Amino acid sequence: MPSYEWLFDIKDYAWPNDVVVNVPDDFKKGISGKIVASHKAVALVAYLRSLKEVTLPDGKPVPIFLYGKSDAEKTAAATTSGKGAAAKPQFDGEALYATNCQSCHQGNGEGLVGAFPALKGSKVVLDDNPEVQVTIIMKGYNGRASEGYGVMPAVGTNNNLKPEEVAAIVNHERSSWGNNSKKVTAEDVKKIIATFDKPETVTAKK
């Protein structure tokens, strides 16, 4: 696949509305400064995400986020059940993970060596106390930058994720790829978020 470097700008400083792309140093080719997506890159991504994909080859349903359903539609789908059938959860942790986390941490949770850390077997994910895991999602993380890993942005805050959505992502990570950790609730997430003053990057090590 060719490089589309011309879709991105290099800036000394990023403005609040800029979409900064966190590229690992090994792939920057000597570039210094902030790599910012141009309006063309943003428009291209928006277009690609608007397309309805064909049925997945493994038979799994197309993730909810590809349809852009409203919260009302999600709620209706969650509370409606057939005869003797259990209602599906309102927020699909697997789909939310695919939208917000998978591009870096990968579908298998193993991340990319030297670029993005693995969630599979992660001490943070396996910790029964979800405080660090939720904080990283909401405020970002730079604790492993010295090891060559990219700085994680405040995904939860930047994408305006609700506590219920964060809890769904956390529980997906805690129950996938062989992980088996204590599940959390939206109330747990709300209590942790309530302790925040303002979004900032977490510096504690994983």
Domain ranges in the chain? 6-51, 90-206
CB 155 within 8 A of CB 96: no
The model's pLDDT over 128-178, given as tens digits with 9 standing for 90+, comes to: 999 999 999 999 888 887 777 778 889 999 888 999 999 999 999 999 999
List the structure tokens of 176.
């996938």
**Ramachandran region of residue 49, left (φ > 0), alpha (ψ -120 to 50) or beta?**
alpha
Rg (CA), the chain: 18
CB 73 within 8 A of CB 90: no
The model's pLDDT over 61-119, given as tens digits with 9 standing for 90+, comes to: 555 544 445 555 555 555 554 444 455 567 899 989 988 898 888 889 998 877 888 99
Q: Which CATH number is associated with domain 90-206?
A: 1.10.760.10
Query: pTM above 0.85?
Result: no
